[in-house]
C-alpha cells in the first residue's frame, strides 16, 4: 500500500512536469491513476462498509465516492437522462453497451441513482450484453449475447436498456486522454411477462436495434459537441463572467436527428448565450435573425459564418423567399430552424407576447413531425396552431418564472422596465 502511494506521488509529479511535452508519458500516467483510484478509494472507505457487510447500501457508498473522485480528477461530466426509470422500486434486468474499463465509472453514476443495484440479486441485475469491450467509436454495437435476455424472461421481469455514449476523448492508439462529456441514456423498460425462452432470439434482436439507434444518436451528439468544443468553451467562460448558469432539460428532444422548427421566447441579448450553450446538442441548426444584426460586427460576421440566416422584416416577399429556401434545406439535411416567434424582446416575467406566424408557416409547409405534429395541417390551421403552441409555452414560462424568482432574495432588483 505504501509503495503504491509512493509511486503515485512520483508519477503525479512527473505528470505536472511533463504535462504537455510528453503526450505518451502523460497518457500512461493518467491511465495508471485510474486503476489506482479503483483500488485505493474502496480501501479507504472499507471501515464504513464493514458496519453492514454485504448490504446493498454499501454499493451506493462506494459508488458515490468513486464517482466523485474520478470525475473531479479527470474532469468528466456525466448526464443521466430519464433517471426516474432507474429510481422506481422494482425488480429488473439492466443491460448496457460495453466499451472500456471506464464503464465502471458510468455504473457508479447509475448505482447512486438506482440505489438497490446488486449485480446478482432479486433487484436490478446489470449485465453487458455485448459480452466484451467494443472499443470502436463508430456508432455501432457488437452482437448481443443471450444471457441477460434468458435471465429476464425466466424471471418475468422487465429489461431496462441503458446506453453509454462513446468515449470520444480516449484513444489508446493516438495517446489521447482528455476531459469529456458523457451521456447515460435510460430507455423505457421492455416487458417480458408472458414470453418464453423461445422468444429470446426475437427479443434480443429487438433490443439490439433499439440500443443501436440510441447509440448512433448519442455518438452524433457527443462527437458534434467535441468538434464545437472551442466555441462552447468560450461561451461557458463568458457566462461564468456574468455569473449565469444554464440548465438544459429534456435535451434528448433537441438531439434527435430530424428536421424541425425550434421556437423559443425572447427576453434579451443574453438569449444568444443560451442558444450557444445548447447549440452542440441540436447539432445542425440554422437560426433566423433580422438583417440588422449582421451589421453588428464582429458578432454579425461570426453569426453569418456559423450559419445564421438573416431576413429583412420590412420586405415580406424577400423574407418569405429566404425562409422557403431555408425550409427546403431543413427537410433535405434534417436541419433545425430556430426562431423567436414573439418577434421582439419581452421583459415581462409573467406572460409571453403574441406570436408571429413565420415559424408556423414554415413548420406546416415542411410538415414537421413530433413533438408538436403538423402533418396534415394546412395554412388555414396556422392560427389555431399558434394558439396551441403559445399556450403550451406560456404555461411553461410561468412555471419557470415562479421557479427561478422564488429562489431570489426578497430585495433582489428585477429588471422589468
CA distance 371 to 272: 23
Q: For residue 161, what pLDDT is reported?
A: 92
Q: Which tops the pLDDT comparison, 206 or 235? A: 206
- Give the pLDDT confidence of 315-347 residue by residue, as tens digits: 767 776 766 666 766 666 677 888 888 878 888
Residue 120 clears pLDDT 50, i.e. is over it: no
| Whole-number pLDDT of residue 40 | 74
SS3 of the chain: CHHHHHHHHHHHHHHHHCCCCCHHHHHHHHHHHHHHHHHHHHHHCHHHHCCCCCCHHHHHHHHHHHHHHHHHHHCEEEEEECCHHHHCCCCCEEEECCCCCCHHHHHHHHHHHHCCECCCCCCEEEEECCCCCCCCCCCCCCCCCCHHHHHHHHHCCCEEEEEECCCCCEECCCCEECCEEEEEEECCCECCCCCCHHHHHHHHHHHHHHHHHHHHHHHHHHHHHHHCHHHHHHHHHHHHHCCCCCCCCCHHHHHCCCCEEEECCCCCCCHHHHHHHHHHHHCCEEEEEEHHHHHCCCHHHHHHHCCCEEECCCCHHHHHHHHHHHHHHHHHHCCEEEECCCCCCCCCCCCCCCCCCHHHHHHHHHCCCCCCCCCCCCHHHHHHHHHHHHHHHHHHHHHHHHHHHHCCCCCCCCCCC
Contact 14, 26 (CB under 8 A): no
- C-alpha angle 295-300-305 in degrees, rounded to nearest 5: 135
121 confidence band (pLDDT: 50, 70, 90): very low
Instruction: Tell me what the mean pLDDT of segment 215-242 comes to.
Output: 64
Q: State if pTM tops 0.75.
A: no
Write the pLDDT tens digit of every residue in 263-286. 888 888 788 778 777 776 776 777
pLDDT exceeds cutoff 50 at 73: yes
Query: What's the mean pLDDT in 131-146?
Result: 70
Above 50 in pLDDT, residue 102? yes
pLDDT score at 293: 79
Question: Which pLDDT tens digit goes with each residue over 3-20?
Answer: 655 556 665 555 554 454
> Which one of 59-63, 140-144, 146-150 scores highest in mean pLDDT?
146-150
Return the top range by mean pLDDT from 212-226, 311-325, 391-405: 391-405
For residue 196, pLDDT beyond 50 = yes
Q: Look at residue 305 in the predicted model and tell me its pLDDT.
A: 65
Instruction: Provide the pLDDT for residue 123.
Output: 46
Comparing 201 with 20, which gets the higher pLDDT?
Answer: 201
Q: What is the pLDDT of residue 200?
A: 93
The residue ranking higher by pLDDT, 349 or 7, is 349
Complete domains list, the chain, with CATH: 75-227 (3.40.1130.10), 230-406 (no CATH)
Amino acid at each position: 500500500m505504501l509503495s503504491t502511494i509512493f509511486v503515485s506521488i512520483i508519477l503525479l509529479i512527473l505528470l505536472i512536469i511533463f504535462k504537455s511535452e510528453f503526450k505518451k508519458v502523460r497518457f500512461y500516467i493518467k491511465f495508471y491513476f485510474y486503476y489506482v483510484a479503483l483500488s485505493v478509494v474502496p480501501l479507504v472507505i472499507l471501515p464504513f462498509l464493514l458496519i453492514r457487510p454485504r448490504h446493498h447500501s454499501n454499493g451506493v457508498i462506494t459508488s458515490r465516492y468513486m464517482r466523485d473522485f474520478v470525475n473531479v480528477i479527470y474532469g468528466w461530466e456525466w448526464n443521466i437522462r430519464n433517471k426516474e426509470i432507474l429510481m422506481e422500486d422494482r425488480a429488473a434486468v439492466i443491460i448496457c453497451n460495453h466499451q472500456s474499463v471506464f464503464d465502471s465509472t458510468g455504473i457508479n453514476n447509475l448505482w447512486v441513482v438506482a440505489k438497490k443495484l446488486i449485480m446478482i440479486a432479486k433487484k436490478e441485475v446489470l449485465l453487458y450484453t455485448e459480452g466484451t469491450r467494443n472499443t470502436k467509436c463508430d456508432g455501432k454495437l457488437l452482437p448481443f449475447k443471450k444471457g441477460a435476455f434468458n435471465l429476464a424472461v425466466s424471471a418475468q421481469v422487465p429489461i431496462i436498456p441503458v446506453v453509454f455514449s462513446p468515449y470520444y476523448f480516449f484513444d489508446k492508439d493516438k495517446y489521447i486522454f482528455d476531459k469529456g462529456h458523457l451521456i447515460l441514456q435510460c430507455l423505457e423498460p421492455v416487458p417480458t411477462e408472458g414470453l418464453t425462452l423461445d422468444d429470446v432470439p426475437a427479443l434480443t434482436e429487438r433490443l439490439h436495434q433499439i440500443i443501436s439507434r440510441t447509440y448512433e444518436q448519442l455518438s452524433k451528439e457527443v462527437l458534434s459537441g467535441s468538434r464545437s468544443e472551442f466555441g462552447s468553451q468560450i461561451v461557458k467562460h463568458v457566462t461564468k463572467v456574468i455569473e449565469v448558469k444554464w440548465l438544459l432539460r429534456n435535451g434528448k428532444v433537441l438531439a434527435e436527428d430530424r428536421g424541425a422548427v425550434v421556437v423559443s421566447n425572447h427576453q434579451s441579448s443574453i438569449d444568444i448565450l443560451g442558444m450557444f450553450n445548447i447549440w452542440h446538442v441540436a447539432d445542425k441548426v440554422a437560426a433566423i435573425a433580422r438583417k440588422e444584426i449582421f451589421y453588428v460586427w464582429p458578432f454579425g460576421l461570426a453569426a453569418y459564418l456559423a450559419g445564421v440566416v438573416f431576413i429583412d422584416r420590412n420586405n415580406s416577399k424577400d423574407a418569405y423567399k429566404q425562409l422557403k429556401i431555408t425550409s427546403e434545406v431543413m427537410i433535405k439535411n434534417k436541419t433545425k430552424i430556430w426562431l423567436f416567434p414573439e418577434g421582439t424582446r419581452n421583459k415581462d416575467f409573467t406572460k409571453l407576447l403574441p406570436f408571429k406566424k413565420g415559424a408556423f408557416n414554415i413548420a406546416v409547409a415542411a410538415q414537421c413531425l413530433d413533438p408538436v405534429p403538423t402533418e396534415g395541417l394546412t395554412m388555414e390551421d396556422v392560427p389555431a396552431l399558434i394558439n396551441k403552441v403559445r399556450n403550451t409555452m406560456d404555461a411553461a414560462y410561468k412555471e419557470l418564472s415562479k421557479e427561478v424568482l422564488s429562489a431570489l432574495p426578497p430585495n433582489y432588483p428585477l429588471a422589468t422596465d
